[in-house]
Amino acid sequence: MRYSTSHKEETRQRLLQSSREIAKRGGFDSTGVDALMASVGLTGGAFYGHFPSKQALFQALIEEEMAHSTELLAGEAGQDEDHVEKCLRQYLSHAHAQHPESGCALPALGAEIARAGSEVRSVVEQALKRTQKSWAGRTGDEDLAWALLAQCVGALVLARAVEGERTRKQILGSSRHFLAQALAAGKTARED
């Protein structure tokens, strides 16, 4: 064997990592297999030693993306509402809007996910539900938990769709401010 036993897995991981970034920056459909392989120093033909098709890569990629985001957002048991507030601040940051390649997959690939097969969408659904349940437990409000998620994704989509830097910051700031108020209102209501 000319390659170590771990080499294939390592290559697969590098390809997956690199593909995640490229897809979130430039879209998945619009990036060719050759370009994805070139990003890890290989040629297009080698791709099919790792994935049976480009769609299979998309599925694996979304699974990793959602697992990673869920880990960050849902957090660990025992954390309270402060964790949610911290997530919101980071998600709705200017840095996140400007760096889709290292950010959440949903604002960048949401539309492509919507067009994907039911397996991909099921993965996304389960991941979202886990974060929603976690946030619902911490805020005491099921609806609020979904609304926070939607607000995050929508604000990022809008922030990235506008041209002006000022408007981008306004959108993100308004969302942060609005959600902070909503969380504070919920907290007050529960303390009564």
Interface contacts to DNA, rule CB under 7 A: 1-3, 5, 7-8, 11, 31-35, 37, 41-50, 52-55
Picked from its own copies, DNA, none, the partner binding residue 149 (CB below 5 to 8 A depending on kind) is its own copies
Picked from its own copies, DNA, none, the partner binding residue 53 (CB below 5 to 8 A depending on kind) is DNA
Radius of gyration of the chain (CA): 19
- What are the residues whose beta carbons fall under 8 Å from the beta carbon of 61, sequence distance 6 or more? 16, 19, 20, 23, 28
Q: Within 10 Å of residue 158's Cβ, how many Cβ atoms?
A: 16
Closest CA to 60 of 20, 24, 7: 20
Nearer to DNA, 13 or 98 (CB): 13
Nearer to its own copies, 72 or 162 (CB): 162
Residues that bind its own copies (CB under 8 A): 26-27, 29-30, 100, 106-115, 118, 121-122, 124-125, 128-129, 142-147, 149-155, 157-158, 160-164, 167, 170-171, 173-175, 177-179, 182, 185
Q: How far apart are the first and last CA of the chain?
A: 69
Q: Least distance (Å) from its own copies to the CB of residue 109?
A: 7
- What are the residues whose beta carbons fall under 8 Å from the beta carbon of 48, sequence distance 6 or more? none
Nearer to its own copies, 10 or 143 (CB): 143
Nearer to its own copies, 40 or 182 (CB): 182
Q: Which two tokens stand for residue 57?
A: 């890569």
Whole-angstrom Cα distance, residue 24 to residue 127?
18
Q: Least distance (Å) from its own copies to the CB of residue 127?
A: 10
Nearer to DNA, 14 or 130 (CB): 14
Give the total residue count for the chain.
192
